Structure 1
Amino acid sequence: MPDRDHTIDKEQARRAFSRAAEHYDEAAVMQCEIGQRMIDRLDLVKLQPEVILDVGAGTGVATAELAKRYRKARVVALDFAYPMLQHARKRGSWLRKPACLCADLDHLPLADQSVDLIYSNAAIQWSNDLDHSFKEFLRVLKPGGLLMFTTFGPDTLKELRSAWNQADGGSHVSTFLDMHDVGDALMRARFADPVVDVDRLTLTYDDVGGLMKDLKVIGAHNVTTERQRGMTGKGRLQVMVRAYEQFRTDGRLPASYEVVYGHAWAPEQREQDGVTTVPVSQIGRMR
C-alpha cells in the first residue's frame, strides 16, 4: 500500500469533528451532494439488506435516507466522534431511531459476516491503513454483501495546497490517495468485482476566508501529524491569500474536489488462513 505523505492524527481528528457536530450540516455541501449521489446509485443494485452499516455517519443524513429506502433493515450509524452520533440519533424518527456505534473504521467492533451493506461517504480518507480498513469491511460483510463508498483523490483542494506551498511549503492540507491506489487496495483485500470511478466537482467562494471557514466548520482542516503547530503567522497567511488569487475565475475563487466513488462485493467464498469457507446457502448450488 503506497504511504501517504503524512499520517492522520486520529485523536486530533476526533476532537475536530466533535467540535464541528453542532454546525456541520450548514457547511457540508460537498459531503451531502456526493452522499446523495451514492445513494442514488443504489437504484442500480438488487439488494434487500437486513443490516446496514453507515461508516463515518456524521450527523446521520445518509443514515436517515438509508432507513427510508430500506424500511425493513436495521441501520447502524458508526462514527468516531460521539457528538456526531448524538445528532444522528436526533435525526431519526421517533419510531426508528438508528443504532449508534462510536468506533473507528480501522477497528470495527462487529461480528464476522454480520452486515449486508456498508455505506461510507467521505470517511475512508481518515484511515491510516486502508488495506486494514478494507479487510475489516470484508470481515464484517456477509457473503454477497456490498461495500459502497466515496473518498477524495489527490486533486482535492489543489488550489489551496498550491497557495500554501508558495507561502511556506508546510503541510496545511491533508493528502489523499489516487483512485488506482484505492482500487488496488480493494483487490488486495480480496473483494469481488471492484469498480472505482472519479467525478470532479468545484465549489466557489468570494474569498479564501470563506473556504477556510467551511473546512473548519465541518472539522476537515488539516490534522496530519506533520501539520504546522501553533498560530500561522500573519505574513505567511497574506502570502497564501495572494497566491490563491491566481485561480480566480469570473470573480470567484474555486475549490476543486476530486471525488472517488467505489463499490465491491464480498465474495460468496472467501479464504481465511489458507482455508476456503463456503456459506451454507451456497451448498448444493455450486457446480
Structure 2
Amino acid sequence: MGVIRSGMDVEKEKELIARQFNRFADEYDRVAVVQQRMAHRILETLDEQGAEPQNILEIGCGTGYLTQLLGEKYPDAKFTIIDIAEKMMELTKRRANESLDVRFVVGDVENESWEPESFDLIASNAMVHWLARPDSTLCQLSSALKPGGGFVASTFGPDTLGELDQVYQNLGLNEEYSTQRRYYFQPPEEWYRMMKMADLEGDYVVCWHRIHYPDSNSLMNAIQRMGADYIHPEEEQLYGQSQLVRAVIQEQYNRIYRTREGGVYATYQSVYAYGRKGLPT
C-alpha cells in the first residue's frame, strides 16, 4: 500500500513486498474493500472514455479482481497480466475466465521489456504506488502503448490513513511510524505531471472512502494483510519494541475515532488517473 522508499536496496525491498503479499494472498480480498471499489471506478472511467481495447496489459493484478472485471467487459481482448507475487498470480489464474486469451507473467514490471506499441490499454488497480521509479516506468509503459492507446490507474493519495497519522503525532511517534514515512503516497498532481512527461494526456479524479472496523486492532490487521506492514531490516529494532507501542496507539485510536455503532473508522484517499498516448504528428 505504499511506495518503495528512497535510499534503500530496491531489489531487497521488492523481495520483502512480494513476500508480504504471498503471505496474506488468501486473506487479501477479505480486507481489500477500497481496492475493490477502485477497480469498479476504473471500469467506469473506461466507459466514460469509450475504450474498446483489443490488447490489454494489466500491471499488478493482485488476486485478479480487476482482471475478472476487465475480462467480463472485454471478453474478446488479448490480455497480458503481471504481478510480482507468485501466490497472487495463482489466485488470478483461478479467477480469470478460462475462455480468455491470457498470458500470465510473474515478475517485476519495472524490470520487464515490452514490445513498442503493442497494447492499446494499460490498466492498474492499487499498484502504481509501489513503483520504485514511477516516472521512468510510466515512460516505459507509454512506449508500449499504441498511439491513441489508454492508460488508467488507481492509487492511494497522501491523505490515506490520516487518522492513524494524527494518533502518531499525538503520541510523538510521527518520525518513526508516520504513514507518509513508511508508505509515501504521491499527490495526484505528481501523477499528472509524470503522465505528461510520459506523453499521456489526461486527467485525474480524487475520492475519499471512510471504512469502518470493529476496532483499531482490526484496522491494523487489515493494513498488514493489504501488504503494507512488511518490516525492512533497518526497522527490526523498532518493531522488536512495537507491541507495547501498538497497544498505546490502539487505545488512543479507539478513543478518538470511535463511531456511534461502537467501532472505529479510517479514511482512504483514492486517485484515479487516465491518460491517452498522443498520436504521431
Q: Which amino acid aligns with 2:213?
A: Y
Contact 2:59–2:122 (CA under 8 A) maintained in structure 1 = yes
Which of 160, 165, 168 is equivalent to 2:173? 168
- What residue number does 1:262 align with? 273
Q: Which amino acid is the alignment partner of residue 265 of structure 2?
A: P
User: Compared with structure 1, are the counterparts of its residues 167 and 231 closer, same or farther at alpha carbon in structure 2 (3 Å cutoff)?
Assistant: farther
- Is the CA contact 2:224–2:230 (under 8 Å) kept in the aligned structure 1? no
- C-alpha contact (below 8 Å) 2:76/2:100 kept by paired residues: no
1:20 alignment counterpart: 24
Query: What pairs up with 1:187-206 in 2 under 5 angstroms?
Result: 187-192=196-201, 194-206=202-214
RMSD: 2.2
Q: 1 or 2, which has the higher helix percentage?
A: 2
SS at structure 1 position matched to 2:227 = coil
Which residue of 69, 72, 79 corresponds with 2:73? 69
| Partner Cα separation in structure 2 for residue 35 and residue 123 of structure 1 | 11
Aligned length: 267
DSSP-derived class of the 1:57 partner: coil
Task: Judge conservation of contact 1:171–1:227 (CA < 8 Å) in 2.
Answer: no
Q: Is the 8 A contact 1:103 1:109 kept in 2?
A: no
Moved more, 166-175 or 29-38: 166-175
Match of 1:282 in 2: none
What 5-or-longer segments of structure 2 have no aligned partner? Answer: none
Q: Where do residues 102-181 of structure 1 align in structure 2 (5 Å cutoff)? A: 102-165=106-169, 166=171, 168-169=173-174, 170-171=176-177, 173=179, 174-181=183-190
**How far, CA to CA, are the matches of 2:61 and 2:140 in structure 1?**
17
Give the letter aligned to residue 171 of structure 1.
Y
1:167/1:209 CA distance change after superposition, 3 Å: farther
Please state how far the C-alpha of 1:167 moved relative to its aligned partner: 5.6
Distance (Å, rounded) in 1 between the aligned partners of 2:230 and 2:187: 18
For structure 1, the residue ranges without an aligned partner over 5 or more in a row are: 270-277, 279-287
Distance in 1, matches of 2:209 and 2:266, equals 9
1:180 to 1:223, Cα distance in 2 relative to 1, 3 A = farther
SS in structure 1 at match of 2:113: coil
Cα distance in 1 between the residues matched to 2:232 and 2:188? 20
1:95-131: CA deviation from partner (whole Å, max 9, x where unpaired) = 3363211122323332111111011010010012211
Residues of 1 paired with 2:58 and 2:233: CA distance? Answer: 27
Q: Is the 8 A contact 1:147 1:265 kept in 2?
A: yes
- How far residue 45 of structure 1 moved from its aligned partner, in angstroms, is 2.1
Q: Does 2:52 match 1:48?
A: yes
Structure 1 Cα separation of the partners of residues 6 and 256 of structure 2 = 26
Q: Determine the C-alpha separation between the residues in 1 that align with 2:154 and 2:7.
A: 20
Give me the whole-angstrom Cα distance separating, in 1, the residues matched to 2:271 and 2:224: 22
CA offsets per residue over residues 23-52 of structure 1, 9 Å max, x none? Answer: 221221111111112112221222321111
- Does residue 91 of structure 1 match 2:91? no
Partners of 1:164 and 1:91 lie apart in 2 by: 39
Which residue is equivalent to 2:82? 78
Alpha-carbon distance change, 267 to 211 in structure 1, aligned in 2, over 3 angstroms: same
Given the alignment, which residue of 84, 100, 104 partners 1:100? 104
